[in-house]
Structure 1
């Protein structure tokens, strides 16, 4: 869900903002909200230690080491609604005058200190990376956009608060009220009882957020021009993704606990998006528009997941 957090926040924030603002400003607001929504996952940087310790021992060993190390801090310090409500104004304050920057620095420093008291050096280190990343996002947004401090605050709050809820489907529930020892959810939310179909349903939600983000982009661009319409950027070769259904015969059924072989291989189907266009009167024509690569690749992956689901159900 790492990418899904950003895409969902971007799409919702941009589409809602477009009801009140011009498209360009709404797009900027959506992008800032999306980047803030991805910021809590900087806690995964600690997992790089586990990856370095594993060495080059094969993709599965390296993957296991990466995720094993990440569980020490992932979805804890930075995935808190309490932390989000404190960090958001802190990020905005450091974009203001000197006195406001000083207050913002104190607020963000307090978060690092709280994490140290609660979780030791590891928690403080992760929180430090989080506040630095959020500060960079806020400063770049203030520099590159016309968003006012109030707009920036809303984007930060929306992005940071939306992130933890997306993680309810894929692993251990986040610590919503960190640093307080109160559990809101004790286990992840399962959409379906069958573990493989549950994974496919969650993957489908991820794809849906991707399509919503693409729709938001095209909607807020000049959708009155034909070349800006979404469907015109999906080439027929995307249907080749349906061939992925054959993998049900030789790949183990994926689950949330063991899903790497499915996720990596089905995403590879998206390479169809950068393939050449075939015509009867000429050998091929290389598509140069990145939007067509993206839309065709997404469509190919969507066909692949739907075909695989159908094959799994009927197998």
Structure 2
């Protein structure tokens, strides 16, 4: 759900900005900022590289297992807290303001790190430092290069940070949304289907829907029609249905063969168009970035639908 987190925050914030009559540039800028904040909590998964290093030399399955088992030691805790997210959003705003406010940002960051130390010990601090540092960096970038006011930084930060944990309710263990409090807001994963493969396919479909929502908002803001940029090659994604016989049925515990292969279908978007018969001789035309992205996304969507249909028939 890494991409989905950013797409949801972008769609919400940019959509509100467009509705308020903001220019396309301002709306997209604050939307991108919200998307960056929404992706920030997953910086805690970087600790999983320790497990990957320890399992170096193993096969793909052992590496994936080591990645998630190590990352889950600290994943979805301090960086996914609804209690701490307001402080982190304020920290980002103060970091991007005048120099005299930087001490406030440092103070807020110190408080968050101290909370992580008390609640989770040194391991909590290891993931919290890059989290607060990343928030401060986003605040500085927003002020210097995006011309976002502190109010907009706080708003974008709150939407991004607070929306992220809810997207994780479909995969893995529910985040510790009330961290560091000894209380549970949501104790169980939201089950979309009793069949584990259908559950994964449904979760993947939700993520695709969020990306398309972001595309739709960007289209409204800029006046572009995404539908006109999708090439016919997107229909090639239907051939992915055959993979139901070639790869293991995906589940949350064994998802990478499906995820990586279905995302690979999106590469059809960057393939050049070759015309062998034309007056001036054969030609090769490279797609522009918009056509490549939207054709690739459409191909992935078609592939997901085709695989789901095939699984229902074969499975």
1:284 Cα offset (Å): 5.2
Instruction: Please report how far the alpha carbon of residue 289 of structure 1 lies from its aligned counterpart in structure 2 after TM superposition.
Output: 0.5
Name 2:77's counterpart in structure 1: 76
8 A Cα contact 1:276 1:284, kept in partner: no
Tell whether the 8 Å contact from 2:91 to 2:135 is kept in structure 1 after alignment: no
- Residue equivalent to 2:6: 6
How many residues were matched structurally? 310
Cα deviation for residue 230 of structure 1 reads 0.8
> Does the 8 Å CA contact 1:235/1:296 hold for their aligned counterparts?
yes
Q: Which residue matches 1:292?
A: 291
Q: Counterpart of 2:309? A: 310
Q: Which runs of 5+ in 2 are unaligned?
A: none
Match of 2:34 in 1: 33
Q: Is the 8 A contact 2:76 2:165 kept in 1?
A: yes
Residue 51 (structure 1) aligns with: 52
Q: Which whole-Å CA distance do the structure 2 matches of 1:205 and 1:70 have between them?
A: 24
- Determine the C-alpha separation between the residues in 1 that align with 2:100 and 2:141: 19
Q: TM-score, normalised by structure 2?
A: 0.95
Distance 2:299 2:283 in 1: 19
By how many angstroms is 1:98 displaced? 3.3
Q: Does the 8 A contact of 1:77 with 1:123 survive in 2?
A: yes
The correspondence for 2:238, drawn from 229, 238, 242, is: 242
* 1:229 to 2:230 alignment: no
User: Is the partner of 1:201 in helix, strand or coil?
Assistant: helix
- Structure 1 residue 191: Cα displacement: 1.1
Quick one: distance in 2 between partners of 1:194 and 1:279?
Answer: 45
Question: CA offset at residue 104 of structure 1?
Answer: 1.7
* Residue 218 in structure 1 maps to residue 219 in structure 2: yes
1:197-237 CA distance string (max 9 Å, x none): 1111110111111111122222212x2xxxx4211211101
Contact 1:90–1:108 (8 Å) recurs in 2: yes
Measured in 2, the distance between the counterparts of 1:40 and 1:5 equals: 10
2:18 paired residue number: 18
The runs of 5 or more residues in structure 1 that have no matched partner are: none
Residue 86 (str. 1) matches residue 82 (str. 2):
no
- The residue aligned with 1:116 is 117
Shift in Å, 1:278? 4.5
Alpha carbons 1:248, 1:312 under 8 Å: kept: yes
Q: Is the 8 Å Cα contact of residues 169 and 189 (structure 2) preserved in structure 1?
A: yes
DSSP-derived class of the 2:284 partner: coil
Q: Which residue matches 2:133?
A: 132
Alpha-carbon shift at residue 108 of structure 1 (Å): 1.0
What residue in structure 2 maps to residue 277 of structure 1? 273
Tell me how large the CA RMSD over aligned residues is.
Answer: 1.3
Deviation sequence 1:74-102 (CA, Å, 0-9, x none): 00110000010221112211222333211
| 1: CA distance, partners of 2:14 / 2:57 | 42
Q: How many angstroms does 1:280 deviate by?
A: 6.6
Q: Which runs of 4+ in 1 moved over 6 A?
A: none
Equivalent residues of 1:44, 1:70 under 8 A apart: yes
In structure 2, the partner of 1:206 is 207
**1:12, distance to aligned residue in structure 2 (A):** 1.6
Distance in 2 of aligned mates of 1:284 and 1:196? 43
Distance 2:218 2:275 in 1: 29
Counterparts of 2:307 and 2:283, CA distance in 1: 29
